[in-house]
Amino acid sequence: MDQINIGMIGGGTVGSGVFHALQQNADLMAARIGLRLGIGKVAVKAFDEPRPYPISPSVLTLNWHEVVEDPAVQVVIELVGGTGIARTMILAALERGKPVVTANKALLSAHGPELFAAARKFGTNLYYEASVAGGIPIIKVVRESLVGNRIDRIYGIVNGTCNYILTRMKREGAAFADVLADAQRLGYAEADPTLDIDGHDAAHKTGILASLAHGFWVNHDDIHVEGIRQLTPLDIRFATQLGYTIKLLGIVKTVPPTGRAGKKPSPAANRISVSVGPTLVPDHHVLASVNDVFNAVFISGSPIGDTLYYGRGAGKDATASAVLSDLADAALDLRHGTPQRVPAFVPHVTKGRVIPLAETSSRFYLRLDVMDRPGVIAKISAILSTGGISISSIIQPEGHEGETVPVILMTHTANRAAMDRCCAAIAKIPAVKGPSRLLPVEDFD
């Protein structure tokens, strides 16, 4: 049986997980694809760095050039992360005509077009199933399985750290800081959790899915990003009372061209909205039940309708599963001389753009802290009415002690820019104290 020789850069938690998984399932994969996959060299930061699984000392090196430049290495796996040296490593491999498997969503988000162009130029390919939603094969689904579908909406719970924190906050009524500390202790959150809890990791992944679904590369700076750092148990509790669960959602939607509501947008002038932020999800919707570190991606398209993809979104084992899938594809493409059989990315929309959040519309949850005085609610209602925003319900719970009481308003569908203007005006009312909390409500229609 022919063997494909693999070199890997990065031998930490994820890298050792890939090495271990390939050792465990090498015979199974060989039987399924008719090729044997073997890792011949692994570049690491230090020979003695801690790893959950051992890597054979005979394959270790401290020099990544020995992996990329070795003529015997046919496929390169990059598991270093970051947007600096990883870019140099991948470009060096592609320039030598070697296919690259990566889990680096931040790098793809920042430099995807450059890397894809290099793969095309040098007649090879870039595989990145592990970059989004861990073990869920969502890249293959969007790029291949749904190739005949016009994708209208994508909703993704794609950050396990945030989902774990929000699950615990709802289940236990715990404060954000307490659950985050626990998540760090358990290894679900990094020592510096900024990338996760401020929404940027989810934005990288959401941008990749948006790009694949809509045919033009989405610039990370065009994505509206909010994290979960400011959420309180009070917001979680009130959302629950209203029949909702708060989830950090990555949302991608097609937006009909202005003045042509009800008509399908032309593929040559695709307008989409792309955002990441805490969102109220109806408890009856399937995404509301995705808990703990699990991920899920909900896709609605034509002709397929609604579909859901669920599984573990991070960790060495889930990532290893996705990397092995890409290795199998890369090996088969090499065997059959079709390295660009499924190109890493196919731009097919010339005038696509991401519209600003201000141009989008949704229903909203608005929490205010107000002094309990006559006429305050009337002033708030008047400002919203003047802004063209209709209130669907108001809750002012009794029994709160202190100078202020919370007031929760649910609106009908409203323009985001109008809502922001109203919130700014409401904040100037002397009886309104402290920052407000504005969250979109998703109806999935």
Are 150 and 302 within 8 A, CB to CB? yes
pLDDT (tens digit, 9 = 90+) per residue, 354-386?
A: 999 999 999 999 999 999 888 999 999 999 999
Residue 278 has pLDDT above 80, yes or no: yes
Residue 268 has pLDDT above 50, yes or no: no
d(CA 23, CA 37): 9
Q: What is the mean pLDDT of residues 67-85?
A: 96
Residue 266 has pLDDT above 80, yes or no: no
* Annotation says 205 is catalytic: yes
Q: Where in the chain is the domain with CATH 3.40.50.720?
A: 3-134+316-335
pLDDT (tens digit, 9 = 90+) per residue, 203-257?
A: 999 999 999 999 999 999 999 999 999 999 999 999 999 999 999 999 999 998 7
Q: Where in the chain is the domain with CATH 3.30.360.10?
A: 141-312
State the CATH class of domain 360-441.
alpha beta
Structure-token pair, residue 161:
């750290």
Nearest to 125 by CA among 325, 314, 298, 340: 340
Q: Which CATH architecture has domain 141-312?
A: 2-Layer Sandwich (3.30)
List the catalytic residue out of 98, 105, 170, 205. Answer: 205
Residue 321 has pLDDT above 50, yes or no: yes
Q: Where in the chain is the domain with CATH 3.30.70.260?
A: 360-441
As a whole number, the mean pLDDT across the chain is 93
Q: What is the pTM of this model?
A: 0.93
Whether the link from the prior residue into 303 is cis, omega within 30° of 0, is: yes
pLDDT (tens digit, 9 = 90+) per residue, 109-151?
A: 999 999 999 999 999 999 999 999 988 999 999 999 999 999 9
d(CA 313, CA 81): 17
* Percent of the chain clearing pLDDT 90 (strictly above): 87
Instruction: List, as one string, the DSSP characters of 208-277.
Output: HHHHHHHSSPPPGGGSEE--STT--HHHHHHHHHTTEEEEEEEEEEE-PPTT-TTSPPPGGG-EEEEEEE
Q: Are strands 294-302 and 150-157 parallel, antiparallel or unpaired?
A: antiparallel
- Phi and psi (nearest 5°) for 21? -65, -40
pLDDT at 262: 54
Q: Which CATH architecture has domain 3-134+316-335?
A: 3-Layer(aba) Sandwich (3.40)
Q: What is the mean pLDDT of residues 317-336?
A: 95
* Percent of the chain clearing pLDDT 70 (strictly above): 96
Q: Are strands 271-282 and 353-354 parallel, antiparallel or unpaired?
A: parallel
Cα-only R_g, the chain: 24
Residue 260 has pLDDT above 80, yes or no: no
